[in-house]
Chain A
């Protein structure tokens, strides 16, 4: 792969890389530091990227490793992230019965890191179970059980016991503006 193609592919993956970073971190400042670090590492290790393999998975692996080594160094900063998210949340709407995206975001933030990342990788980022297993450096079965536990825990946190608790109009698309990341 030539340098130019690698750079173009890297730029194309940046929105997904940032989404993954934001999902892991909970703070934009930390996510952006992490992403910057990942870009530098990805660039300097670009010759070790295997053509034909999934660049997104490769980048996620680098970012994830940086996240956990940073987390080991700075435990206290991470614990602030929930408060930061809660603070930036809009007031809870009065509507009942709908699965609101900002409720969802809060619930997601309360999941253990490994469950949240498994759900993000499998449920949203488009990675396969095999690719997610490589990113997290665990067995495929471990990813599957983490995803299952994440879903079950989310249902619990959102107080969803059955279909009747969801409502018939989960207008999630229209709720995207409630994302705490938007100014």
Chain B
């Protein structure tokens, strides 16, 4: 995990970089940006499954026991 936090600036890591996309119209870019944020926000606002919070409590309890 830690090794992936090391920044790898090696050029050419993505061969598709060579082809630059043309700039989008700012209005189009803005609409896509808003749709993107709305999409993401709708996911953030979903209620978390109770099991997810229980998992954390469980691993924490197990951790305490091990000590």
* Interface positions of A (Cβ within 8 A of B): 3, 7, 10-11, 14-16, 18-19, 22-23, 32, 35-36, 39-41, 43-45, 48, 58, 61-62, 65, 99, 101, 104-105, 108, 119-120, 123-125, 133-134, 137-139, 141-142, 145-146, 148-149, 151-152, 154-155, 160, 162-163, 165-166, 170, 172-173, 175-176, 179, 181-182
What is the CB-to-nearest-CB distance from B9 to chain A, in angstroms, rounded to a whole number?
5
Instruction: Give me 12 other A-B pairs in contact (C-beta within 8 A), A148-B20, A176-B41 excluded.
Output: A3-B60, A15-B45, A23-B39, A43-B59, A125-B40, A145-B14, A145-B16, A149-B21, A152-B21, A160-B28, A165-B28, A166-B28
Which secondary structure dominates chain B's binding surface? helix
Q: Which of A7, A62, A160, A175 contacts B31 (CB 8 A)?
A: A160
Name B5's closest neighbour in chain A (CB-CB).
A134
Neighbouring B residues of A181 by C-beta, 8 Å: 42-43, 46
Q: Are B8 and A139 in contact (CB under 8 A)?
A: yes
16 contacts between A and B (CB under 8 A): A15-B45, A23-B40, A32-B51, A101-B39, A137-B8, A139-B8, A139-B11, A142-B17, A145-B17, A146-B14, A148-B21, A152-B21, A152-B22, A160-B31, A166-B31, A170-B35
> In the complex, A144 Cα to B11 Cα: how many Å?
13
Q: Are B44 and A15 in contact (CB under 8 A)?
A: yes
Neighbouring A residues of B27 by C-beta, 8 Å: 162-163, 166
What is the CB-to-nearest-CB distance from B37 to chain A, in angstroms, rounded to a whole number?
5
Binary flags per residue of B4-41, CB closer than 8 Å to A gives 1, else 0: 11011111011011001110110111011111111111
Q: Are B52 and A7 in contact (CB under 8 A)?
A: no
